[in-house]
Amino acid sequence: MPAVEEPVAGAPTAEPEPTVEAQQEDGQSAGKAGASVGNPLSGRSLYGPHVTAARAAAQLAGRGDAALLAHMASVPTAMWLGPHHGDVRAAVRQRVAEAWAAGAVPVFVSYNMLDLDCDGRLAGNPESPAAYAAWIGEVAAGIGAGEALVVLEPDTLAHLCGDQAQRFAMLQAAVGILEANPGTYTYLDAGHSNWMDASTMAGRLRAAGVDQADGFALNVANFQRTADNIGYGSAVSAALGGAHFVVDTSRNGNGPGNDWCNPSGRALGEPSTTATGHPLVDAFLWIKPPGESDGTCNGGPPAGQFWTGKALELARG
């Protein structure tokens, strides 16, 4: 999980006025996955300060490496939401207000699924479907009348365990709550190109309500190459009747290594953008903040802590 982000000094906190530009792109309203005919984010800028990279760059001020980290910090990066946010509505509202002031769309990751790994290890996560729905409601309330892109629950469908019917129902409800806001673009996490076959994932997405979302997300916090994810995503999309998707490109510049956890020799991928050059891909996104550790493996600090050495390795490629 990424580190907790601190508020940006002087940032507006009032709820932004509603915007309609993204709903008007390509002559359509915000299209859902079952009937998408265009990219609802076309022409839009993305927003997301990479706070920990900026802090590390400042600590290296005057050294050549500082520029590498400053560049990393300049790329819009997702804000992860979970139990570490005591008041998630306020945290989301502030980020949405900042993005609105910048004329851009913020990117969030909802990572708070009830017993994600079915082992009870994730402390602080909701203890019931009702509690989870209430928490998602707080996220939606924070977005309010503004705009936001939300990647919903990494690993929840790919790592399907426990009461599957309950998990599908929780995701369906979350999609419905988020999509009640016309300016929210929701993408259900769908693993990556090297996890499971496209047909199986398409079935899981369908059961989770992807037809009411804007699409699905691939490669979150992983390293699979963009081209491989586009190929896989296109196959999933075909099984879903043309659903769109987004791809995490934050650390896939050199493709996968020999380990999912802090592998060596990796590189930054394409910067966040809605101009992907592919009709089904709504955005390339830096969802996993590059430089933040995957966990205490391969010499890394605890998950979510910024690791300057690894960040520089990624930046040098």
Active-site amino acid positions: 117, 155, 294
Could you tell me if 182 and 138 are in contact, meaning their C-beta atoms sit under 8 angstroms apart? Answer: no
Query: What backbone phi and psi angles, to 5 degrees, belong to 8?
Result: -85, 125
Cα gap 314→268, rounded to integer Å: 5
Could you tell me if 140 and 184 are in contact, meaning their C-beta atoms sit under 8 angstroms apart? Answer: yes
Tokens of 293: 């550790």
Residue 258: Cβ within 10 Å count: 8
Contacts of 89 (CB under 8 A, 6+ apart): 138, 139, 141, 142
Nearest CA-CA partner of 189 in 136, 238, 139, 151:
151
Q: Where are the beta strands (DSSP E) in the chain?
A: 46-47, 79-81, 105-110, 148-152, 184-189, 215-218, 245-248, 281-285
Cα gap 179→169, rounded to integer Å: 15
Nearest CA-CA partner of 236 in 222, 218, 220:
218
Three-class SS of residue 186? strand
Nearest CA-CA partner of 26 in 49, 42, 12:
42
